[in-house]
Structure 1
Amino acid sequence: MTSIWTGSKVRLRGIEPEDWPAFQRFDDHTADMRTVDRVYPPRSAAGYRQWAAEEATRAPDGDEFRLAVESLSERVVVGALSTTGADRRAGRFGHGIGIGREHQRRGYATDAVVVLLTSMFGELRYHRCEVSALAFNEASIAPHRKIGFRVEGRLRDHEYCAGRHHDVVLLGITADEFAERHPYAPL
């Protein structure tokens, strides 16, 4: 093994100042922005440069951090992944992932989430990961189910976008469930 942050298709790494054009391109697609978070107002190239420079020097907030997802084959930024709601006492955390439109449907998101869970469960002793996705976002729900996440609930009319309210699907996986499907590498 080279690095716990490297999977079969992607490497998770810190965001670098020169990554700003990739993130600007990702934000050009309104439908993608909706599925990741929400639609933000346009930002200037200078704004993206400033954001990337700040991200490059930002220290992790405990176990909450944002990383670039880089493809191993092309060595380009294909998306970003972040942890959220990390609670060491309860042993749970969440995550969010977004893959740029031109890089979708190549297995990058699945590989990136497996890399993240391997670290959070296998190194930091977290017990559970919880995620949510808009119900119409099958592109997010399907890979999570493939990894081993289970649908645990649905929040009706929970989020508003594109002129109406949408359901949110709640998914979760425990460290034991993950390890059954994705055994940790031997020492």
Structure 2
Amino acid sequence: MEQQGLVKTSEGKHIYLRPVEMSDLDDYYAYLSDPTTSRFTGTQKVFSRQTAASWIEHISKPDSSRVDLMIISQATDRLVGEVVLNDIDPVNRSANIRIAIAGQENQGKGYGTEAMLLMLHHAFGTLNLHRVELSVYAFNDRAIHVYEKLGFKREGIQRDCLFLNHQYHDAITMSILEHEFRERHTPNSCNAGV
């Protein structure tokens, strides 16, 4: 479940995925510090540059329980977000997926849809997973729309699980099974623009 083989094969029309590199530190630190990104991910931690560097070092090491990939713009070769498969369970063939797109300037361009599709192809086509789940905050209508478009189904609600800006917010649990994914997406659908 190493990431190396994924780099050259995970290319879409507008983005490609690759493992993090220490040369990403400036862009990654800006991404972690972006208020829009923090709101949609529910992150309330304040990151220092050193904390970001330590995290890059941590996720760049092989780990069979997770796949951390940076979302890179084909046009600029700059980091525009990250997509992560974590809690990989080889016995039950399941994992959690999470994604974040950096800053408002990168939102609404299809980067997230393309990155999710690439990672789901990896999850079901390479790692042989059966189930991939995620959690999304109820106020994130755009993300919910993308996940449903990709074939995720709503499973339940975690009530009042995030306290942000003096208010509690629900999270929606969603999942997709391998046969549901294969019924909707061909192996070449990454390049088809979903």
TM-score band, normalised by shorter chain: 0.7 to 0.9
Matched with 1:78 is 80
Matched with 2:164 is 161
One-letter amino acid of the counterpart of residue 175, structure 2: G
One-letter amino acid of the counterpart of residue 179, structure 1: R
Distance in 2, Cα, partners of 1:156 & 1:145: 20
Q: How does 1:130-149 map to 2 (within 5 A)?
A: 130-149=133-152
SS of the equivalent of 1:177 reads helix
Paired residues of 2:136 and 2:171 also in contact (CA < 8 A): yes
Distance in 2, Cα, partners of 1:31 & 1:106: 15
Instruction: Measure how far apart 1:42 and its partner are.
Output: 4.2
| Runs of at least 5 residues in structure 1 that lack an aligned partner in the other structure | none
Instruction: Measure how far apart 1:27 and its partner are.
Output: 2.8
| Cα distance change on mapping 1:178 and 1:38 into 2, 3 Å | same
Paired residues of 1:68 and 1:80 also in contact (CA < 8 A): yes
SS of the equivalent of 2:127 reads coil
Paired residues of 2:42 and 2:164 also in contact (CA < 8 A): no
One-letter amino acid of the counterpart of residue 38, structure 2: M
| Runs of at least 5 residues in structure 2 that lack an aligned partner in the other structure | 1-6, 189-194
Q: How does 1:1-187 map to 2 (within 5 A)?
A: 3-44=8-49, 46-52=50-56, 54-55=57-58, 58-101=60-103, 102-185=105-188
User: Number of residue pairs matched?
Assistant: 181
Distance in 1, Cα, partners of 2:162 & 2:51: 27
Paired residues of 2:160 and 2:170 also in contact (CA < 8 A): yes
SS of the equivalent of 1:120 reads helix
What's the Cα RMSD here?
Answer: 1.9
Per-residue CA deviations over 1:7-63 (Å, capped at 9, x if unaligned) read 22211101111111112222333242132141212413x4434543x147x323214
Quick check: 20-29 or 122-131, which moved more? 20-29
Paired residues of 1:153 and 1:170 also in contact (CA < 8 A): yes
Quick check: 176-185 or 130-139, which moved more? 176-185
One-letter amino acid of the counterpart of residue 52, structure 2: Y
Paired residues of 1:15 and 1:55 also in contact (CA < 8 A): no
